[in-house]
Amino acid sequence: MQEFLQTNYMTFLLLVALVVIMAVNHKNRIPASRLFHEAMLLMGLLLVGEYIEWHGFDMVARHLDLAEAIHLRTVGSVICYVLRPVIVMLELLIISPSRRISMACTVPSLVNAGVYIPALFGSRLAFYIDEQGQFCEGKLYYVNFAVLLTYILLLLLFSLSYFRKQNIKQAVIILLILVESVSDAVCEFLNVIRGYPTAVMALCMLEYYIYLILIYQHDIRETLAEQRLRTEKTNRLLMLSQIQPHFLFNALNTIRALYAKDPPLGEQTLEHFSTYLRQNLEALSQTELIPFERELEHTRLYTEIELHRFPEIRIQYQIGDTDFLIPTLTVQPLVENAIRHGVRGRKNGLVTVTAMRDAQTCRITVEDNGAGFDPEQLKDSEGTHIGLQSVKERVEQMCHGTMTVKSERGAGTKITLLIPVRPEYNIKEKQR
């Protein structure tokens, strides 16, 4: 046992390092993790097989029970010869460019297993242990090395394809694994150093995991770049949606009419209008979450101006909790959408804004009894309901929330925002 541990010391060291790296990255969605975990399990079984083979060899050397020693050496050898190509196959599947090639990669390992497993039942086709406990090669002994050579050639082809795609980092790592796999196969073929091939396989797995982390980081960078572009587009569309010549023109006409009929009310409305415009401009450059109360104030300013134009509309606020943060221009565009495309021009039009909070989420609902619309229109980012799509994207990106839309033509619309309860979205927690 001690000699086995000394021989495989480097293998154990590499596997421990690999387990530590995997534990550190366990929360990350590393690609092909399932295949990698399967390869790690097979590496453990491979070490068990080597120990069984080593123990059988040691029994022969000490002239102990020869029959048991022959059985142990046979079992250990079969495990090693069957598992080594399978582990290399799993490594190939990680970088395989297509499902069809992945299916083809499994064939050599199946053939190899079909050649070596019968040795457990006395077949001498691949190898056998003679009466003196010596290892003897069979007619198909070199199938194992032919399979490994096949996989090595596939590694070479994959690395060349990565070079053509100018994925230099991935290609260099695969070439390094290729060189080590060649040395592994040569050492196994010549049987020059015991324990060396398994250590090389452990090193290859460590390099493969580094390769997977590189892919993960590359995907994260691409995803962030796409999100950045999408956010910039959303902000541009939001800015265009907030600069509304018709609303500005109608609001100014309303204020002029109020000055003629009720100057104090006209002055108050003008003050509200100027505050609304200032907050709108500030909101366009706002990148952080804001208190819900501030967004609610902005919404009230907007509705007070609109109610002078459409006195038949009613706005109800049912606010239970305001101690949380949300993206700017979240509630106001929803209320604006409810007025412009829902209850405007209708008798007894009603828009209800509700805010509640439980242990899991902060729930904001904007509901109207207006015209309704087809929710599929939200998928058209250039359509009428651009404000809704903008709100949805910002709620998802900035606070990991969700927005659901229920609408029926002629029956009204209900839009619900769910903001998860987290310390960073809580005003009191942020002030501590």
Per-residue confidence in pLDDT tens, the chain, 432 aa: 566 666 666 777 777 777 787 777 777 777 667 777 888 888 888 888 888 877 766 766 676 677 888 888 889 889 989 998 888 888 778 766 567 777 888 899 999 999 999 999 989 999 998 887 788 999 998 898 888 888 878 877 776 666 566 566 666 666 666 666 666 666 666 665 554 567 777 777 777 777 777 777 777 777 777 777 676 666 655 555 555 667 778 888 888 888 888 889 989 989 988 888 888 777 766 778 889 999 999 999 999 988 888 888 999 999 988 888 998 888 988 998 899 888 887 888 999 999 998 878 899 999 999 888 877 766 654 555 557 877 888 888 888 899 999 988 888 999 999 998 876 556 555 554
Q: Quickly count: other Cβ atoms within 10 Å of residue 228's Cβ.
A: 10
Residue 87 three-state SS: helix
At residue 242, the pLDDT reads 54
> Structural domain boundaries of the chain?
2-225, 243-431
- pLDDT tens digits, one per residue of 124-143: 999 998 887 788 999 998 89
Predicted TM-score (pTM) of the model is 0.50
Q: The domain at 243-431 falls in which architecture? A: 2-Layer Sandwich (3.30)
Which DSSP category does 328 fall into?
A: S
Report d(CA 23, CA 207) in Å as an integer.
Answer: 16
Residues 6+ apart with CB under 8 A from 352: 315, 316, 317, 318, 365, 366, 367, 368
Q: Do 329 and 238 meet the contact criterion of CB atoms below 8 Å apart?
A: yes
Residues 6+ apart with CB under 8 A from 404: 415, 416, 418
At residue 297, the pLDDT reads 92
Return the closest-CA partner of residue 327 out of 372, 301, 362: 362
CA distances from 117 to 11, 121, 286 (A): 25, 8, 67
Helix, strand and coil percent figures for the chain, each rounded to 5:
70, 10, 20
Of all helices (H) and strands (E), which one includes residue 363? strand 361-368
Of all helices (H) and strands (E), which one includes residue 36? helix 33-61
Ordered alpha helix ranges (H), 244-385:
245-261, 263-284, 292-309, 331-338
- pLDDT tens digits, one per residue of 337-376: 899 888 887 888 999 999 998 878 899 999 999 888 877 7
Output the six-digit token pair for 176.
């390094």
Q: Do 272 and 301 meet the contact criterion of CB atoms below 8 Å apart?
A: yes
Output the six-digit token pair for 326.
């949300």
Output Rg (C-alpha) for the chain, integer angstroms: 35
At residue 9, the pLDDT reads 65
At residue 381, the pLDDT reads 47
* Full 3-state SS string of 297-316: HHHHHHHHHHHHHCCCCEEE
CATH topology of domain 2-225: Rhopdopsin 7-helix transmembrane proteins (1.20.1070)
Residues 6+ apart with CB under 8 A from 210: 173
At residue 78, the pLDDT reads 92
Q: Do 402 and 396 meet the contact criterion of CB atoms below 8 Å apart?
A: yes
Per DSSP, the residues of 412-425 read EEEEEEEEE--GGG
Q: Do 188 and 145 meet the contact criterion of CB atoms below 8 Å apart?
A: yes
